[in-house]
Structure 1
Amino acid sequence: MEKKTKEQRELILQESKLEVRKVEGEPTKIIGYAVRWDQLSHPIYGMFQERFKRGAFAASLINPDVYAAWQHDAREILGRTPGTLLVAEDDIGLRYEITPPSWAEKYVETIERGDVRGSSFIFRAVSGGEEWDEETNPDMPIRTIKEAELFEVSPVTTPAYPQSSVGIRSAEETFQSRPTTETTKDDEEEQRAIANDLEMRLRKLNL
């Protein structure tokens, strides 16, 4: 089975903002939440909403290889597991703690000032690790992630989903590959209905 595409999400809420922790005699820490459990996202490109169940990353965090980068720039690595990045699930969500290098002090200052307050993460849903609810709101299906692989957590400035062709294509693939509750249509009609639905949603998004 073909592997699912990696997806990028961003979170910015008052109660989820980044924190810089400085304790005398200890290294500076950047602390934040990439995910908050059972919290519905804003509509993703007008196609669907999404939430994560507690434990979604548990398997991925057994022997993690996750890195933190400034604004998703792989040339500016702030930390990596194990060692300079700690990622763990708690009662609230997926929490991360970065021990940044000394050259990143200018970035730490922007977080302290409140200029940078968002968290972004890159993940891939495990096959069979997601559920779709199209009955609660037929116009806006809800995707629930129960199991996913984690690749990156990063402090970011912009709180929106990445407005790029790659980001939109990823959302399209996710939306199109969702299971359908229709059982009376043949495959060709079903695919046509999904394509028409997607085209209508993208049209609304571009208005």
Structure 2
Amino acid sequence: MLEIRSQGTLTAKGKTLSGYAAVFNSEANLGDFQELIRPGAFAKSLATGSNVRALYHHQGDALLGTTKGNTLQLREDSHGLAFTLSLPDTTHGRDLAILVDRGDVSGCSFGFRVAPGGDRWEQRGAQLVRELLAVDLMEVTLTADPAYQDTTVAMRSRPHQQTHVDLNALWLQTA
């Protein structure tokens, strides 16, 4: 069963988005239970080199990039699951860049399957708590409605490259 979790704050600059699709040790209220992701939860999945997709709102037809295509880079650090995404020049990519820049889309989500023995459940008073210890990562998603509010996305800008156009040289090339 594929599980989906949403989180945080996105930033966009130019055509590259970066942020955190998951933040470690941050609790999310999922209704019937609280959930948190422990450091190392994505390590085994990332080490396999399996293809992970970047999507908009978990929609398969809104593909933004893949690890296989090297347009999505993922890594675990001490804070969580960091990503860098090179946006495509597609309707979804252009629209998302605008939405992130405006602050309308500022969070992330991820789709996963729990690896065998990859979670731990604990009753803490009246609250049931699930800890994610090892998951098989299937996708990261950019969303306006994250479950984990600590996730982030940001636009990274490239320096503006001013180009000089030599109109005489262009004219000579056509003559």
Q: What is the TM-score of this pair, normalised by structure 1?
A: 0.66
Question: Which of residues 43, 46, 57 in structure 2 aligns to 1:58?
Answer: 43
User: What secondary structure is seen at the aligned counterpart in 2 of 1:141?
Assistant: strand
The answer to whether structure 1 residue 94 and structure 2 residue 81 are counterparts is yes
Q: CA deviation at 1:159?
A: 3.0
The aligned residue for residue 94 of structure 2 is 105
The aligned residue for residue 107 of structure 2 is 118
Pairing of 1:1-207 with structure 2 (within 5 A): 5-12=1-8, 17-22=9-14, 28-42=15-29, 44-45=30-31, 47-62=32-47, 63-82=49-68, 83-103=70-90, 104-134=93-123, 137-160=124-147
Count of aligned pairs:
144
* The structure with more radius of gyration: 2
Partners of 2:46 and 2:147 lie apart in 1 by 26
Higher helix share: 1
Cα RMSD of the aligned pairs, angstroms, is 1.5
Aligned identity (percent) is 33
Q: What is the TM-score of this pair, normalised by structure 2?
A: 0.77
Decide whether the 8 Å contact of 2:36 with 2:131 is kept in 1. yes
Higher strand share: 2
User: What secondary structure is seen at the aligned counterpart in 2 of 1:60?
Assistant: helix
User: What secondary structure is seen at the aligned counterpart in 1 of 2:138?
Assistant: strand
- Point out where structure 2 has 5 or more consecutive residues left out of the alignment: 149-175
Partners of 1:160 and 1:40 lie apart in 2 by 9
Partners of 1:7 and 1:127 lie apart in 2 by 14
User: What secondary structure is seen at the aligned counterpart in 1 of 2:45?
Assistant: coil
Q: CA deviation at 1:64?
A: 2.6
Cα offsets for 1:154-190 (capped at 9, x unmatched): 11122359xxxxxxxxxxxxxxxxxxxxxxxxxxxxx
Partners of 1:6 and 1:105 lie apart in 2 by 28
